[in-house]
Amino acid sequence: MATNIVFHPGSVDPAERTQLLGQKGVTIWFTGLSASGKSTVACALEQHLLHLHKFAYRLDGDNVRFGLNRDLGFDERSRNENIRRIGEVSKLFSDASCVTLTAFISPYRADRAVAREVHDKAGIPFVEVFIDAPLHVVEQRDPKGLYKKARAGEIKDFTGISAPYEAPENPEIHIKTAECDVTEAVRIITQYLSDKGYI
């Protein structure tokens, strides 16, 4: 734990930043099994928001592990730290008035609760989106061949097979991708954000 540090506030407060940029930051936290459609929906939503001239940016689970989180594995402790870091980074993006999209399996409720708490303490909206697809569906999709490897014992600690996934109990948005296409998913999320005054 760092000591002898003091938070240095900026010269622009959140209200002024929001007024100058014409939008307020919000974090949209996509969670779900691998191959459920998190990244696909997040990519489509990011593109849609940018076409609406909204400042939006996507943080993707695999992409972040190439840099910021390249020192982390997939054991439970590493997964905890992975989500802790992303919770903090997404808060910073949203504090800058960005519509921040995070697409991470984030399998543990406690870790997602910590990410939400970080945002709540900063007064930043946090929208949990459960991208829900049954295990048999994601195993059929398996675009990276990961489920096949996990079933063969070639991948340890694989969520849904040899590691748990704790589904959200009260997500703000629940999308069943086995019953809903990407266009409809984007429409549902955009409508929610509009109704809440986030965009």
Spatial separation of the C-alpha atoms in residues 87 and 112, rounded to whole Å: 8
Report the distance separating Cα 33 and Cα 5, nearest Å: 39
In angstroms, rounded to a whole number, what is the distance separating the alpha carbons of residues 81 and 77? Answer: 6
Query: Does residue 106 carry a catalytic annotation?
Result: yes
Burial 9-47 (b: 16+ CB within 10 A, else e): eeeeebeebeeeeebbbbbbbbbbbbbbbbbbbbbbbbe
Closest CA to 107 of 79, 141, 127: 79
Name the catalytic one among 97, 106, 162, 194: 106
Question: Which residues are catalytically annotated?
Answer: 106
